Amino acid sequence: MTKEILFYMCNAVALCGWLLLIFAPRWKWSARGIAACIVPTLLSIAYISLILMYSGESQGGFFSLEEVSLIFQNQYIVLACWIHYMVFDLFVGCWITRDAQKINISHLIVVPCLIATCLYGPFGLTLYFLIRWIGKRKFFIED
């Protein structure tokens, strides 16, 4: 399988999770099953496989920006990093969906946060925290 095909397949799998969160947030399998566990696990398997197969080919490290940039010279590692982002962004999207349901924030208000999280990660999470604080006066996360 080429890296391009794997890229498109992983994006399609992640998109399925996001579509469930946006269009079927209350379905029992959306935020707690498929989007939160199954999709991230499938993507994580691809991530782990790429890291195990190609991390030895990359130079660089994690102790300076220059070392980190060297890691990205290998396109398979770039793909692994992209999958890493997709897994964690989707997981954050699942948390946002469940938290909003728990504290009764309208899903129509949450959808822009989910889209922003899908596209820009921390921006979407910050937007949700602002909405959460302004709308419900809740900033801290409670069980």
Q: What is the pLDDT of residues 35-69, one digit of tens each?
A: 889 999 999 999 999 999 998 877 888 899 999 89
DSSP secondary structure letters along 6-63: HHHHHHHHHHHHHHHHHH-TTSTTIIIIIIIIIHHHHHHHHHHHHHHHHGGG----SS
For the chain, the structural domain boundaries read 3-136
Nearest Cα neighbor of 16 from 37, 43, 39, 45 is 39
Radius of gyration of the chain from its Cα atoms, rounded to whole angstroms? 17
Name the range with the highest mean pLDDT among 4-8, 35-39, 66-70, 71-75. Answer: 4-8
Q: 97-132, pLDDT tens digit by residue? A: 999 999 999 999 999 999 999 999 999 999 999 999
